[in-house]
Amino acid sequence: MELFDNHKKLFGTAAIFFIGLTILVAIMPAIRNQDNNQPLPGAVELSPDAVKGKALFIANGCVACHTQQVRNVDMDKMWGTRPSLAADYADNHRTDFWRNTATLMGTERTGPDLTDIGNRQPSKDWNLVHLYNPRIVVKESIMPAYPWLFIIKEEPSKSDIVVNVPSQYLDGKEGKVVATKDAMYLIAYLQSLKQTKLPDGTAAPAFLYKREEKKVAGATGSEPDGKAIFTANCQSCHQANGEGLPGAFPPLKGSPVVLGEDLEKYVDIIMNGYDARAEFGVMPPVGTNMQFTEHEVAALINYERSSWGNNGKKVTPDEVKKIINFVKLKAAK
């Protein structure tokens, strides 16, 4: 065949074939997506600090392990309240003259997804400790430590942000760990990562491949696993042994809140968070963020009341349900 023996025609044909397909499956869809999507009305632009933090996030290759996409499958429900939409990424533009756009969706989830980390883990104290060395708060973690985002000072000044690092993580150095500006930028970026609420009346796309629905309470043995809920949502601060982290996160072992009579306060803290004690970090509204049901809250309370030597009164989902409704109203006010 002449086509096969003529290098110009042969390679020309191959090139046109490839370029044509490229335009169809890459360039045109890319342009259409870039032009047809607008940020959601409720989307908040990154603050100048968060922009610097994002640059650090890119520079340190965090995307190698952390995705920023909630897929529309049921197993991704734990990472956000709704599947991510094209509009969520619409505000990403070219970083600067040298660097390309960074949507940072990622392809590996060696670490947790960060789409909604600003809601899930808003505590600055936790993030700083975790950044200095993740194993201080999560023993099993394999995330790199970032001590170079901190400096060690003998006598920190008043404006310094001191991080409570246990001495065995200081490699024998003396002094206080102080967060640098870079650390604060990075945390500003992490705290800014929140899923934007869809405008009223817009239905979020469904999560597909649903797991079998958990059976409604009543039947024995079908209650949610309190330990798993604790591990997924509470353990990174209060620790697996319930002892918390001195100077950062209060213990639940022997805690008056956990073992006390005031169930309303207890449920309120789980659902809406807590910031009443200056010596500890701020607790986020875990229950509201994760949309805990009364069954899950009850299971969690029962787990915390019966672990680490705690011996508190068991609660039922019905009791908890009333209080949840009540504290919701209170929070709304």
| Residue 151 bridge partners (DSSP) | 178
Q: Binding another protein by CB under 8 A: which of 44, 206, 216, 232? A: 232
Among 44, 86, 206, 216, which residue sits at the site for another protein (rule: CB under 8 A)?
Answer: 86
Of residues 262-321, which lie at the interface with another protein (CB under 8 A)?
none
Q: Which of 43, 46, 81, 95 is close enough to bind another protein by CB under 8 A? A: 95
Q: DSSP 3-state assignment of 154?
A: coil
Task: Please report whether residue 92 would count as binding another protein according to CB under 8 A.
Answer: yes
Q: Is 206 in the site for another protein (CB under 8 A)?
A: no
Structure tokens at 320: 């908890």
User: Which one of residues 51, 143, 198, 259 is an interface residue with another protein (CB under 8 A)?
Assistant: 143
Q: Does the protein bind another protein through residue 140 (CB under 8 A)?
A: yes
Q: Is 5 in the site for another protein (CB under 8 A)?
A: yes
* Chain centroid to CA 170: 27
Q: Which two tokens stand for residue 187?
A: 């945390």
State which residue, 99 or 313, has the beta carbon closest to another protein: 99
Q: What three-state secondary structure class fits 162? A: strand
Is residue 126 within 8 Å of 149, Cβ to Cβ? no
Tokens of 242: 């319930």
27 binds another protein per the rule CB under 8 A = yes
Smallest separation (angstroms) from another protein to the CB of 125:
20
Q: How far apart (Å, rounded) are the C-alpha atoms in residues 301 and 286? A: 13
Q: Which of residues 45-64 bind another protein (CB under 8 A)?
A: 58-64
Between 7 and 158, CB nearer to another protein: 7
- The end-to-end CA distance of the chain, in Å, is 81
Among residue numbers 120 through 139, which ones bind another protein (CB under 8 A)? 133-135, 138
Q: Determine whether 288 is exposed, middle or buried from the number of CB atoms within 10 Å of its CB (0-12, 13-18, 19+).
A: middle
150 lies in the site for another protein, by CB under 8 A: no
Which amino acid makes up residue 62? C
Residue number with CB closer to another protein (80 or 118): 80
Rg (CA), the chain: 24
Check residue 105 for interaction with another protein (CB under 8 A): yes
**Nearer to another protein among residue 42 and residue 144 (C-beta):** 144
Backbone phi and psi for residue 178, each to the nearest 5 degrees, phi listed first: -120, 130
- In this complex, which beta carbon is closest to another protein, that of residue 19 or of residue 216? 19
The C-alpha atoms of residue 69 and residue 194 are separated, in whole angstroms, by 12
The correct pick among 40, 53, 67, 179 for binding another protein (CB under 8 A) is 67
